[in-house]
Chain A
Amino acid sequence: SQELEQSPQSLIVQEGKNLTINCTSSKTLYGLYWYKQKYGEGLIFLMMLQKGGEEKSHEKITAKLDEKKQQSSLHITASQPSHAGIYLCGADKGGTSYGKLTFGQGTILTVHP
């Protein structure tokens, strides 16, 4: 199995609906990054979580890292077509691997107007 699992793999929602993407690690994390990617383009930094229980928000996107630091969720409120894209979580295990990110497979989000 993958070291970092994202679910669902794809998601189709109607504009205005809320949605959640999950990211589960098989190991304890030093930090967890969330990125958005348009097809074939670079990754856009959304937020980085480090402390257990930490929650961060940016506009209509909220991400949380659970207390045990092995799972994170990304929640979008009142989705818009501009939210469409591929959402990737990246895990930093810290220590000698500090700064080396291991990514999940990504979640493809489609938002219908």
Chain B
Amino acid sequence: DAGVTQSPTHLIKTRGQQVTLRCSPKSGHDTVSWYQQALGQGPQFIFQYYEEEERQRGNFPDRFSGHQFPNYSSELNVNALLLGDSALYLCASSVYNEQFFGPGTRLTVL
């Protein structure tokens, strides 16, 4: 079992650009959540997908959007990047009371 996988590992973008991050959940997990972790902080919840629909959303602007595919994999899209979007983006997959995280994608916005 590969666990939760994310791609790419690192990404460098400039302000105003758009970015897409990808996540494959752990086998058997049907729910995917995305978190943003700034340096020195705990992760902040962005949104959660279940059955291809956004089920919950944290306090993030509409520039952050997502998608879940029939195979439960998910994408996080961020438009009009700001310097403050630089962070580690973590994907977590879950079923029942287990929530496992992937290794993250480090996004740097210049």
Contacts and interface: CB of A to CB of B under 8 A. Distances in A.
Contacts of B97: 31, 48, 50
Q: Chain A binding site: helix, strand, loop or mixed by DSSP?
A: strand
A42 B98 contact: no
A100 B45 contact: yes
A102 interface: yes
Q: Chain B binding site: helix, strand, loop or mixed by DSSP?
A: strand
Interface residues of A, number: 24
A104 B42 contact: yes
A14 B88 CA distance: 30
Contact of A43 (B41, B44, B94, B101): B101
Contacts, number: 64
B48 A100 contact: yes
A52 to B, nearest CB: 15
A4 B56 CA distance: 20
Interface in A72-113: 88, 90, 96-97, 99-106
Interface stretch (B14-22, B61-69, B71-79, B102-110): B102-110
B42 A99 contact: no
A59 interface: no
B24 interface: no
A42 B101 contact: yes
Contacts of A104: 42
Contact of B99 (A41, A50, A99): A99
A31 to B, nearest CB: 6
B29 to A, nearest CB: 11
Contacts of A50: 97
